[in-house]
Amino acid sequence: MNRAFDRHGIHFEYPEDWILHEQSTPEEITVTINSPETSFWSFTLLLDRPDPYRVVETVIDALREDYSDVDVYTNEGQLGELSAVARDVDFVCHELIGSAFIRAAVIPGGTLLVFYQGADIELEETQLMLERITKSLTWEASTEPRMIDVLDLFELAEDGKNEDELDEDLA
Protein backbone atom coordinates (compact mmCIF):
# COMPACT_ATOMS: atom_id res chain seq x y z
CA MET A 1 0.00 0.00 0.00
CA ASN A 2 1.66 3.14 -1.24
CA ARG A 3 -0.96 5.86 -0.80
CA ALA A 4 -2.42 7.43 2.31
CA PHE A 5 -5.60 9.36 3.02
CA ASP A 6 -5.31 11.86 5.87
CA ARG A 7 -8.22 14.30 6.12
CA HIS A 8 -11.14 15.03 8.45
CA GLY A 9 -9.20 13.45 11.32
CA ILE A 10 -9.29 10.07 9.51
CA HIS A 11 -6.22 8.22 8.20
CA PHE A 12 -5.88 5.02 6.16
CA GLU A 13 -3.59 3.49 3.59
CA TYR A 14 -4.60 2.06 0.23
CA PRO A 15 -3.03 0.67 -2.95
CA GLU A 16 -1.55 3.08 -5.45
CA ASP A 17 -3.64 1.78 -8.36
CA TRP A 18 -6.98 2.27 -6.56
CA ILE A 19 -8.99 5.44 -7.27
CA LEU A 20 -10.24 7.67 -4.44
CA HIS A 21 -13.49 9.68 -4.49
CA GLU A 22 -14.68 11.97 -1.72
CA GLN A 23 -18.13 13.46 -1.10
CA SER A 24 -19.07 15.75 1.77
CA THR A 25 -22.28 17.30 3.02
CA PRO A 26 -22.89 19.15 6.27
CA GLU A 27 -24.17 15.83 7.73
CA GLU A 28 -21.56 13.34 6.50
CA ILE A 29 -18.24 12.70 4.83
CA THR A 30 -17.88 9.72 2.50
CA VAL A 31 -14.65 8.48 0.95
CA THR A 32 -14.62 5.55 -1.47
CA ILE A 33 -11.66 3.84 -3.06
CA ASN A 34 -12.25 1.62 -6.08
CA SER A 35 -10.05 -1.28 -7.11
CA PRO A 36 -9.11 -1.70 -10.77
CA GLU A 37 -11.80 -4.44 -10.88
CA THR A 38 -15.19 -4.18 -9.09
CA SER A 39 -14.23 -4.33 -5.41
CA PHE A 40 -14.42 -1.15 -3.39
CA TRP A 41 -13.90 0.08 0.17
CA SER A 42 -15.55 3.10 1.74
CA PHE A 43 -16.04 4.94 4.96
CA THR A 44 -18.77 7.35 5.90
CA LEU A 45 -18.45 9.58 8.93
CA LEU A 46 -21.97 10.48 10.07
CA LEU A 47 -21.56 13.69 12.03
CA ASP A 48 -24.89 13.48 13.90
CA ARG A 49 -23.73 10.25 15.63
CA PRO A 50 -26.60 7.86 14.86
CA ASP A 51 -26.69 4.51 16.63
CA PRO A 52 -24.28 2.06 14.89
CA TYR A 53 -26.89 -0.73 14.96
CA ARG A 54 -29.37 1.52 13.16
CA VAL A 55 -26.73 2.50 10.59
CA VAL A 56 -25.88 -1.14 9.83
CA GLU A 57 -29.55 -2.11 9.57
CA THR A 58 -30.17 0.78 7.17
CA VAL A 59 -27.37 -0.47 4.91
CA ILE A 60 -28.76 -4.02 5.02
CA ASP A 61 -32.25 -2.73 4.18
CA ALA A 62 -30.80 -0.92 1.15
CA LEU A 63 -29.08 -4.13 0.00
CA ARG A 64 -32.37 -6.01 0.36
CA GLU A 65 -34.07 -3.39 -1.81
CA ASP A 66 -31.43 -3.79 -4.53
CA TYR A 67 -31.00 -7.58 -4.48
CA SER A 68 -33.60 -10.33 -4.12
CA ASP A 69 -31.40 -12.98 -2.50
CA VAL A 70 -29.59 -11.54 0.55
CA ASP A 71 -28.06 -13.55 3.41
CA VAL A 72 -26.86 -11.67 6.51
CA TYR A 73 -24.35 -13.04 9.03
CA THR A 74 -23.51 -11.51 12.40
CA ASN A 75 -19.79 -11.14 12.89
CA GLU A 76 -17.46 -9.86 15.58
CA GLY A 77 -15.84 -6.76 14.17
CA GLN A 78 -13.28 -4.19 15.12
CA LEU A 79 -12.59 -0.72 13.91
CA GLY A 80 -9.24 0.20 15.33
CA GLU A 81 -9.35 -0.69 19.01
CA LEU A 82 -13.15 -0.40 19.17
CA SER A 83 -15.69 -3.18 19.01
CA ALA A 84 -17.94 -2.54 16.06
CA VAL A 85 -21.37 -3.63 14.97
CA ALA A 86 -20.43 -6.04 12.19
CA ARG A 87 -22.40 -7.87 9.54
CA ASP A 88 -21.26 -9.84 6.51
CA VAL A 89 -23.70 -10.07 3.64
CA ASP A 90 -23.85 -12.37 0.62
CA PHE A 91 -26.10 -11.50 -2.30
CA VAL A 92 -26.68 -12.54 -5.90
CA CYS A 93 -26.22 -10.01 -8.68
CA HIS A 94 -26.22 -10.95 -12.37
CA GLU A 95 -25.45 -14.59 -11.59
CA LEU A 96 -22.44 -13.63 -9.47
CA ILE A 97 -22.23 -13.91 -5.72
CA GLY A 98 -21.30 -10.65 -4.11
CA SER A 99 -20.12 -10.20 -0.55
CA ALA A 100 -20.34 -7.03 1.50
CA PHE A 101 -18.74 -6.35 4.85
CA ILE A 102 -20.35 -3.72 7.08
CA ARG A 103 -18.79 -2.28 10.25
CA ALA A 104 -19.96 0.67 12.36
CA ALA A 105 -18.84 2.27 15.63
CA VAL A 106 -19.06 5.61 17.39
CA ILE A 107 -15.76 7.50 17.29
CA PRO A 108 -14.87 11.07 18.24
CA GLY A 109 -16.60 13.22 15.67
CA GLY A 110 -19.44 10.89 14.71
CA THR A 111 -20.48 7.38 13.79
CA LEU A 112 -18.02 5.69 11.46
CA LEU A 113 -19.43 3.28 8.88
CA VAL A 114 -16.99 1.10 6.94
CA PHE A 115 -18.41 -0.78 3.98
CA TYR A 116 -16.52 -2.88 1.48
CA GLN A 117 -17.60 -5.39 -1.12
CA GLY A 118 -16.60 -7.44 -4.10
CA ALA A 119 -17.70 -10.26 -6.37
CA ASP A 120 -16.75 -13.82 -5.46
CA ILE A 121 -14.59 -14.19 -8.57
CA GLU A 122 -12.20 -11.48 -7.39
CA LEU A 123 -12.53 -11.55 -3.59
CA GLU A 124 -9.89 -14.27 -3.42
CA GLU A 125 -7.48 -11.58 -4.56
CA THR A 126 -8.98 -8.42 -3.06
CA GLN A 127 -10.46 -9.43 0.31
CA LEU A 128 -7.09 -9.46 2.04
CA MET A 129 -6.37 -5.97 0.66
CA LEU A 130 -9.81 -4.71 1.76
CA GLU A 131 -9.13 -6.01 5.27
CA ARG A 132 -5.65 -4.44 5.30
CA ILE A 133 -7.18 -1.07 4.40
CA THR A 134 -9.66 -1.47 7.28
CA LYS A 135 -6.87 -2.39 9.71
CA SER A 136 -4.87 0.68 8.66
CA LEU A 137 -7.80 2.95 9.55
CA THR A 138 -7.14 5.36 12.43
CA TRP A 139 -8.69 8.59 13.64
CA GLU A 140 -7.74 11.44 15.86
CA ALA A 141 -8.94 10.86 19.41
CA SER A 142 -9.89 14.40 20.30
CA THR A 143 -10.37 16.35 17.10
CA GLU A 144 -13.93 16.79 15.94
CA PRO A 145 -14.12 17.19 12.17
CA ARG A 146 -15.70 20.47 11.18
CA MET A 147 -16.94 21.40 7.78
CA ILE A 148 -17.13 25.04 6.74
CA ASP A 149 -20.45 25.58 5.05
CA VAL A 150 -21.51 28.25 2.57
CA LEU A 151 -22.96 30.49 5.30
CA ASP A 152 -19.60 30.48 7.10
CA LEU A 153 -17.92 31.60 3.87
CA PHE A 154 -20.42 34.44 3.44
CA GLU A 155 -19.77 35.50 7.03
CA LEU A 156 -16.04 35.44 6.35
CA ALA A 157 -16.44 37.68 3.31
CA GLU A 158 -18.86 40.12 4.99
CA ASP A 159 -16.73 40.60 8.08
CA GLY A 160 -13.46 40.77 6.16
CA LYS A 161 -12.01 37.99 8.34
CA ASN A 162 -9.34 35.53 7.34
CA GLU A 163 -9.76 31.75 7.76
CA ASP A 164 -7.89 31.65 11.11
CA GLU A 165 -10.23 34.27 12.56
CA LEU A 166 -13.25 32.34 11.27
CA ASP A 167 -11.88 29.14 12.85
CA GLU A 168 -11.62 30.93 16.22
CA ASP A 169 -15.22 32.19 15.93
CA LEU A 170 -16.56 28.76 15.04
CA ALA A 171 -14.65 26.89 17.76
**Whole-prediction pTM:** 0.80
Reported confidence tier of residue 160, pLDDT bands at 50, 70, 90: low
Q: What confidence tier does 146 reach under pLDDT thresholds 50, 70, 90?
A: very low
Average of per-residue pLDDT across 12-26? 95
Domain ranges for the chain, please list them: 3-140
Instruction: Please check whether the domain covering 3-140 is classified as CATH 3.40.1000.10.
Output: yes
pLDDT score, position 165: 54
Mean pLDDT of 37-49: 95
Q: What is the dihedral of CA 40, 45, 51, 52, to 10 degrees?
A: 30
| Alpha-carbon distances, residue 141 vs 11, 106, 130, 159 (angstroms) | 12, 12, 24, 33
Q: What average pLDDT does this structure show over 92-110?
A: 90
